[in-house]
Structure 1
Amino acid sequence: MKNGHERKSSVRVVHVTTVHHPFDPRIFYKQLASLRDAGFDAHLIAPHERSERVNGIPIHALPIPSSRGARLALQPKVFRMAGALDAALYQIHDPELLPLAFLLKRTIGARVVYDMHENYRSKGALLGRGLRALERWAFRWVDHVLLAEESYRSIVDGHAVPHTYIANYFRPIGGEDPVDAVEISETPTRLLYTGTLSDSRGLRTMVDLAAQIRRADRPETLDLVGVCHRDHQRIQVEEQVRSEGLGAVLERTGWDTYVRPSAMPPHYCRADVGLALCEPHPNHMGSLLTKFYEYLHYGLPIICSDFPRWRRFVEQHECGAVVPPGEPGAVLDVLDAWQAHPERYRECAENARAAAPQYRWETMGERLVNLYRRLLNDSSLKEPVTGSR
């Protein structure tokens, strides 16, 4: 968001997470950066190697947990750290922190905003029900809920909680060359995936795609940029890469380490096509991946799994193609068609660039800042809360 906010504020606001990386794009580079730009005293509490100030935003480091149990054990420390900052508003990014947020609201009278990143019904019968129960309880007293997806409205329907849709649109990190200056390739051969890697997000399909490219001696290469948190899946992929000699086709950046968004632009600028070959998981089928907006910004035609919502997006903008999940051969069929008819590929790339301005973060940043101002302009900000509503 541009620095178009004339009115400045010295109000302290704190975002809290024990699940997400401190440089999670939605949290750090979009929401906190927009609040900082608007003049808020914006802070972040998150697992990190050390406390530091980055881009004008203080990060208060928590120990990096090795398991869910270790994460839950951090809560007393989180509560003390958050309370010491004495903020007017706390934004919570993880449902497991909602009880802690309630205590902050009761003890210091702060506003509480809950950012719903996921539909937690997909987390399994026991965990999913537990997280949903926490959310339903929080809807009785939380001041506002942010929805990362339109489809999450069904979760808050029937509850009196105020809520706002804050889409995870694209925001450049800074220092990037104008995308229009990047020449569109005549032969799309450089394939890219960015983001968290796992089998449900298409890792196995993409490795099988690389194997088919290698066996057919095709010209394509595949660049996977992101972290794979699942050790057994990394081991399986590494064994396949070694046994099938895929090193010349498949490049991995990050892999066992988080890749900061600031390191992503060179990968986008070198690529010809953006991939999203996820398996049919409810969280994928019910949402648009953030990478869609990023691919559009860099003029990358999208090849993605054929889910109804994804198909509508691609067909609306005429910016790519959909393929059956788990079928790497279908990806090669699309590439063959584009290589045989370069004008079709170029049209998709141009359409991607043309669609990108619809999905810029600026409008969402303005929406978030205006929401904060409304919440913090209310009276009795610091009066202790006597009960839930």
Structure 2
Amino acid sequence: MSPTAEPPVPGGRPAVLPAPVDVSLITSGHHVADARLHRHCAALRRAGLTVEVLARGTAADAPPGVEFRPLEAGGLTRRGLHALLLPARARGRVLLTLDPDLVPAARLRRALPGGRRLLVVDVHEDYQALLRDRSWARGPAGAAARIWTHTATRLSRRADLTVVADEHVPPRTAAHRMVVRNLPDFRLLPALQPPGPVPRALYVGDIRGSRGLWTMLAAVEAAPHWQLDLVGPVAAEDRERLREWQRGSSAANRVRLHGRMPPRAAWQLAAGAWVGMALLETTPAFVGSIPSKVYEYLACGLPVLTSPLPRAAELVRACGAGTVADGSDQAARILSGWAGEHRAAYERCRAGAVRWSEDHRQTTTPYDRLAGTVAALLAAASLHPLPDPAEAA
């Protein structure tokens, strides 16, 4: 089944809805090109479940094999409207939420007469810590967001299944809690390939200062033999400064901005790359975690240049698949050495990354285990028949 789309509906329903599906993956904040969203959908489809996705974006960026129902993009007001109405628009026997603001309405929806659904809440980040990394989360807006995320996290404990991305991610006392780490799905990644003739670094993910944007640019600027591919959306607060950098930097022609791309297309850029960059700042949101991109770089056989995030640094050192750079100056020295007099050290790191990739090419991912659990819940649950879509509309 190829992705399908209905016209965006600003908070309402289409005149006629198709028949129910097994799983509705709904998100008020994520773009349909989001990597975790794609990994969820791929595993659910492998488990034989039908899936619809309600998210921002276009059908071209949607996972294959799902029904895609695009949402109208907008600011916080639009997102709030989606948070209230998406659970009612969803047709799935299972609601799988990716954002904390969806949880209250989803909990209410499943409690209403005729609205019984299984609820799976994906709490894939420590939202309270993440807010401390957002410039907008100050003053009254920040206080309201903290109250909302705290409430949503508490409500998620009573979902039919509460999914977290790591052991440290709350809620830790959920009734049915499952850890689904952001490990790579090798089916979405290219085959291992040797590095190309020109030293090239790769970054895939949200592009913002706290995720290492300025550190990466300064490092490549000071390592003139290197190129850099940046894949992902640039944060609004960093766009003007980035434009100024492009106008004035001698390295501007060596840095390519690809914008947002679905995972399969994004990771094709790993072919021929020399290194994956993960120079995130040690913010409260990042210090206790391992960025998913670190695992994906290793899966592609790329050595990792990471900032001193404790768990990421421990991982790349333990498998000999990269090194740690504390700031742009040290990162530039490492890159210059790898392309020059320390090429043998680079080759050892490359070999460590390839070993990691070959050792972890498992056929079953954490997402497959989650999909199997969802399928089992559906099979075991005595769900009331869903209302006729035409009548519900």
RMSD: 2.5
Aligned residue number for residue 205 of structure 1: 215
**Structure 2: segments with no counterpart, 5+ residues:** 1-19, 133-141, 387-393
- Compute the TM-score of the two structures, normalised by the length of structure 1: 0.83
Given candidates 258, 265, 268, the residue that maps to 1:266 is 268
In the superposition, the TM-score normalised over structure 2's length comes to 0.82
Deviation at 1:198, TM superposition (A): 0.1
In the other structure, the counterpart of 2:231 is 225
Residue 346 of structure 1 is matched in structure 2 by 347
Alpha-carbon distance, 1:332 to partner: 2.1
Alignment of 1:18-167 (within 5 A): 18-27=28-37, 29-49=38-58, 55-65=64-74, 67-82=75-90, 85=91, 87-107=92-112, 108-122=115-129, 123-124=131-132, 126=143, 127-139=145-157, 141-152=158-169, 155-157=170-172, 159-167=173-181
- CA 1:208/1:184 → structure 2, altered by over 3 Å: closer, same or farther? closer
- CA distance in 2: counterparts of 1:276 and 1:360, whole angstroms: 24
Matching residue's letter, 1:73: L
Matches within 5 A, 1:229-268: 229-230=235-236, 232-254=237-259, 258-268=260-270
d(CA) in 2 for partners of 1:250 and 1:121? 33
Structure 1 residues 130 and 311, CA, compared in 2 at 3 Å: closer, same or farther?
A: same
- Corresponding position: 1:292 with 2:294: yes
| TM-aligned CA distance change 1:243 to 1:223, over 3 Å | same
Stretch of structure 1 that moved more, 99-108 or 336-345 = 336-345
Kept after mapping to 1: 8 A contact 2:28/2:79 = yes
Cα distance in structure 1, aligned partners of 2:21 and 2:265: 32
Structure 1: gaps (5+ residues): 1-9, 385-389
| Residue identity in the other structure for 2:177 | H
Q: 1:359 to 1:21 in 2, by over 3 A?
A: farther
Structure 1 outlier segments of 4+, above 4 Å:
49-54
SS at match of 1:36: helix
Residue 173 of structure 1 and its aligned partner are, at CA, apart by: 5.2
1:4 alignment counterpart: none
316, 321, 324: which is aligned to 2:323? 321
Return the letter of the residue paired with 2:148: G
Instruction: Work out the CA distance in 2 between the residues paired with 1:250 and 1:53.
Output: 27
More displaced, 12-21 or 348-357? 348-357
Judged with a 3 Å threshold, the aligned counterparts in structure 2 of structure 1 residues 53 and 133 are, in CA distance, closer, same or farther, namely closer
Aligned residues: 352
Q: Aligned pair in 2 of structure 1 residues 11, 252: CA closer, same or farther (>3 Å)?
A: closer
Match of 2:138 in 1: none
Match of 1:178 in 2: 191
* Residues 242 and 32 of structure 1: CA distance in aligned 2, closer, same or farther (over 3 Å): same
SS in 1 for 2:301: coil
Tell me if the contact between 1:173 and 1:261 (Cα under 8 Å) persists in the aligned partners.
Answer: no
**Partner deviation per Cα, 1:232-264 (whole Å, 9 max, x = no partner):** 41111111221233322222211xxx2222322
